[in-house]
Amino acid sequence: MSHRRAVYLMLLVTLLWSTAGVVTRHLEAARGFELTFWRSGFNAIALLIGLRWLRGPALWEQMRTAPRLVWLSGLCWAVMFTAFMVALSLTSVANVLVTMALGPLLTALLSRLVLKQPMAARTWWAIALASAGIAWMFGHELGQGAAPVAEPGDQGVLGMLVALGVPVAAAVNWAVLQHVGHGDQTSDAVDDMPLAVLFGALISALTMLPLAWPMQASLHDLTLLAGLGVFQLAIPCLLAVRLSRVLSGPELALLGQLELVLGVLWAWVWAGEAPTSAALLGGAMVLLALLANELLAWRTRAE
Q: Give the pLDDT score at 155.
A: 64
pTM across the whole model: 0.82
Average pLDDT, integer, range 27-31 = 87
Q: Give the pLDDT score at 141.
A: 63
Distance between the two ends of the chain, CA-based, in angstroms?
A: 26
Average pLDDT, the chain: 84
Residue 57, preceding bond cis, omega within 30 degrees?
no
Are 190 and 123 in contact, with CB atoms under 8 Å apart?
no
Domain assignments of the chain as residue spans, ordered by start: 3-302
Per-residue confidence band for 165, with pLDDT thresholds at 50, 70 and 90: very high
Average pLDDT, integer, range 274-294 = 79
Average pLDDT, integer, range 285-295 = 77
Burial of 110 (0-12, 13-18, 19+ CB in 10 A): buried
Within 8 A by CB and 6+ apart from 50, the residues are 234, 238
In percent, the amount of the chain with pLDDT more than 90 equals: 41
3-state class of 231 per DSSP?
helix
With 90 as the cut, is the pLDDT of residue 189 above it? Answer: no
In percent, the amount of the chain with pLDDT more than 70 equals: 87
Q: Which residue has the higher pLDDT, 7 or 76?
A: 76
Q: Give the pLDDT score at 236.
A: 95
Q: Which residue has the higher pLDDT, 277 or 123?
A: 277
Q: Give the pLDDT score at 12.
A: 95
Kind and range of the H or E run holding 109: helix 103-113
Per-residue confidence band for 187, with pLDDT thresholds at 50, 70 and 90: low
> 15-27: per-residue pLDDT in tens?
999 999 999 999 9
> 64-113: per-residue pLDDT in tens?
999 999 999 999 999 999 999 999 888 888 888 888 878 877 887 887 77
From CA 76, how far away is CA 196, in angstroms rounded? 9
With 80 as the cut, is the pLDDT of residue 39 above it? Answer: yes
Q: Give the pLDDT score at 144.
A: 62
> 233-256: per-residue pLDDT in tens?
999 999 999 998 888 777 787 777
> 144-164: per-residue pLDDT in tens?
654 333 344 456 788 888 999
Q: Give the pLDDT score at 142.
A: 64
Q: Give the pLDDT score at 168.
A: 93
From CA 280, how far away is CA 274, in angstroms rounded? 10
Q: Give the pLDDT score at 149.
A: 37
3-state class of 16 per DSSP?
helix
With 50 as the cut, is the pLDDT of residue 217 above it? Answer: yes
